Amino acid sequence: MLSLLISIFWGIVGGLLAWRLRVPGGAAVGAMAACMLYNIVQTQPAQVPTWFSLAAQIAVGVTVGSTANRELFQNGFAIFAWALIGAICYLLLGLLLAIVSNRLGHIPFATGLFGFSPGGFTNMSIIAGEEGADAARVTLIHFTRVVLLFIIVPWLVRLLVSR
């Protein structure tokens, strides 16, 4: 239990620090990075109880769900169609990467599928763990993707979108 409390402490410190430094996605990315570093240096990493994981999922669901409004659904059909096309493409690419990485012996298939599929790293990691995949590896895959995208996408927008 002490290890969990210390992990929570470092998660709060890392999240607030990254948020304060205006790192894109800073609170979540900073908290995750700080907890990962803490757990890497520990001989016994923190074990997160089910109730804590459930509370985190509910908090994320409430936060994301609260962004919806009537205007989104009134004007969102075209966006939904493109989102559906994008999701299918991401899923197919994720499936391909999961198959290839598994056949090469690097990543178990279920872990690869959760790791290479679209979705937020927090939710996908939690769901992966619940389904028996390696949540830590899924987190590392998504964390790497998110950090790279947070660096590359703003740069591409500035480069390609005229103001």
CA 155 to mean position of chain CA atoms: 21
Would the pLDDT of 94 be above 80?
A: yes
Where do runs of H (alpha helix) occur along the chain? Answer: 2-20, 26-41, 50-65, 70-75, 77-103, 109-116, 121-130, 135-160
Q: How confident is the model at residue 63 (pLDDT cuts 50, 70, 90)?
A: confident
Would the pLDDT of 152 be above 90?
A: no
* Global confidence as pTM: 0.63
Would the pLDDT of 163 be above 70?
A: no
